[in-house]
Structure 1
């Protein structure tokens, strides 16, 4: 099969790296790719926003399957265009991707279907939103309804922070178009985890339970980011809780979407808070997670091509999906991230890190400049490792991180801390 992966980050590098191991893949493309992906795929100089050009490339080059990594192309309808042209593509169409693209839509869907989630209200103007805050009080979570690169949710433990969040979105327009509609929801307490499934509309393949680390700094301090590290499986989630999350949330969401005439295909990756009242949805995502995918791919035993094609042939058994043990990923970021950060700084040590057993370094924001690998993003690299125990896998990613350097590099030092407490 000839396969193309759309994207340029560490998530897509991990997907390309795993697909390159498939005996079924005869040719692999990455569009636009990055220097890491260029080692195992042919990079195509097309932007992710060039939907028609990408579809034309797929037609001309006989691409049998396209896998879409990032959320924005999905939300904006790349799958619709590929399918209209008779091209096979893995991911939801724009109607399905609205689960991630519109928090307001997702919340209303869950409320109507009885899927457990925080109580919420939706606002278009600051006045009513501020009045609601005065009546409701804090803590709350204020969310930009549309996609905001993982940074559109502000946890407000006091009213002052909540008011400022509303004003950022609806008055100062800090989040641009993403913040034109605001969802204010009750603050949920507990451990947050994610359940990930490959879906074909009516059926789903449970993949993994993971835990992400969204804040930039240790001890969950600092600003929200796209994710500073993740691990799987999660030791404090027992088998019964896992089954309950898939049954009451994943299956129920697919059924609710069907009720609206939407057949959801692709990855449904749901952030869930384990509260005293039971699992409750924080938000839905409609693609592979980043940094969750990096941890998953180093642990995956099954051919990834079988996983993304399971909807047609169901060739995958969950009990043979994974290697025994744990997968951990760690993000190496540029100084200033998730705010402004420098670019073009030389990167060293990746080759040495990749020589450690069970370790692979995935490129997130890198570029080649005069023959030198340099930084080109906020999250620059993602170090992933597989180990027999969570402690072994975690130790490996930190050992590898110490071998890598670029000016201003920082990372969290407490990835998987909750899992390690349990282990």
Structure 2
């Protein structure tokens, strides 16, 4: 079986690592891939923003199955184009992807199908947003999200009206046309990844993710500074999420004629009122994937096969027998400053057999050394408990240098359950 993975980060490295273990896989192609994925398959350079180039690659390679990292490819219509070629892609068609590309569409979908989520208002100007924000900010607080953009820079959690106005001014000046203003919720945030064939669903290991840059959940928002899986799953919580969140989402897609086969990640928060959905995604999160894949002992290809065949109800997930905790390392100045930086001391991270390294931008510099720019790599520790996995993951990190400084990483990943 030939599988194509589209992407170049730690998520794709973790997927390549996992898929290479399947006896069903004869050939792995990662486009464009990175220095880590090259160990498990063949990297092929391609510009993922050029859909025609991606289609040309698929036409030449004829993969049996394609996994997509960047969600933007779904919006561009990759599933539709590949289907015309008789090729299978794990993920939604273009007409479904708008539900994930637009935060406003996702919130209104959840509202229509009674999926618990925070109160919200879609606004089209800074003035309109301020009128919504003023009464909420002193009490509950708000979160501002650009409707059709994703990533850390598209979200603001203002502490004051001045913070909010600065974000609004910049967002609309840069071309935003709509924003979603949400009432801020407080609680324990979890990622609930799953596979669905449109009728059945399979919950994958839950993930606890950190996104703030600094310890204590302070500093800038990022794509993820650390995570661990599986994250405290109680039977009663799973039953509640299944009843109140997953079933309404899947049946809602069916009711609206939106066929869906692939991964879905539901980010939610456990509040005093129960689970509240924060966001929906058609791909697994980057750092989430890097701690999830190591604790799945089943053959992932088997899961993907039955998903695409509409027979997902034939399989069950084996309960994980270990915990994975990942700490992300970035170059000094991240996220505001991203520039190529020499990396040394990596040998200290490779000395343990109970760890994994998944690369983002970490790569050879052509002169026998290593360099990275921005998000560099994730060090994953494996153990029976969260605290043991934390000890393993952090062991040796102090030996790593980026330029003449220590890398940027949090020291409290796994500290908070």
TM-score by length of 1: 0.92
Structure 1 position 309 matched with structure 2 position 305: yes
Q: Which residue of 1 aligns with 2:238?
A: 242
Q: Which residue of 1 aligns with 2:342?
A: 346
Structure 1 position 253 matched with structure 2 position 237: no
2-structure distance, mates of 1:125, 1:358: 51
Q: Write the mapping of 1:53-72 to structure 2, written as runs, cut at 5 A.
A: 53-72=53-72
Q: Which residue of 2 aligns with 1:405?
A: 401
Q: Which residue of 2 aligns with 1:287?
A: 283
1-structure distance, mates of 2:187, 2:222: 20
2-structure distance, mates of 1:323, 1:144: 37
Q: Which residue of 1 aligns with 2:183?
A: 186
Q: Write the mapping of 1:260-409 to structure 2, written as runs, cut at 5 A.
A: 260-311=256-307, 312=309, 313-314=311-312, 317-320=315-318, 322-343=319-340, 345-407=341-403, 408=405, 409=407
Distance 1:265 1:373, change over 3 A: farther
Contact 2:200-2:313 within 8 A present in 1 as well: no
Contact 2:334-2:408 within 8 A present in 1 as well: no
Structure 1 position 161 matched with structure 2 position 158: no
Deviates more, 1:49-58 or 1:328-337: 49-58
Match of 1:152 among 151, 154, 161: 154
2-structure distance, mates of 1:97, 1:372: 42
Instruction: Count matched residues.
Output: 411
Shift of 1:351: 4.4
Shift of 1:373: 4.8
Distance 1:20 1:350, change over 3 A: farther
Q: Which residue of 1 aligns with 2:2?
A: 2
1-structure distance, mates of 2:152, 2:86: 32
Distance 1:396 1:275, change over 3 A: same
What SS class does the counterpart of residue 223 from structure 2 fall into?
A: coil
Cα shift readout 1:20-58 (whole Å, capped 9, x = no counterpart): 111110011100001111111100011112323323322
- Structure 1: gaps of 5 or more residues: none
What SS class does the counterpart of residue 286 from structure 2 fall into?
A: coil
1-structure distance, mates of 2:213, 2:292: 21
**TM-align CA RMSD:** 1.8
Shift of 1:303: 1.3
- Structure 2: gaps of 5 or more residues: none
What SS class does the counterpart of residue 246 from structure 2 fall into?
A: helix
2-structure distance, mates of 1:42, 1:63: 13
Shift of 1:406: 2.0
Contact 2:202-2:317 within 8 A present in 1 as well: no
What SS class does the counterpart of residue 122 from structure 2 fall into?
A: strand
Deviates more, 1:392-401 or 1:91-100: 91-100
TM-score by length of 2: 0.93
Contact 2:104-2:122 within 8 A present in 1 as well: yes
Q: Which residue of 2 aligns with 1:214?
A: 211
Shift of 1:267: 1.2
Deviates more, 1:366-375 or 1:393-402: 366-375
Contact 1:325-1:390 within 8 A present in 2 as well: no
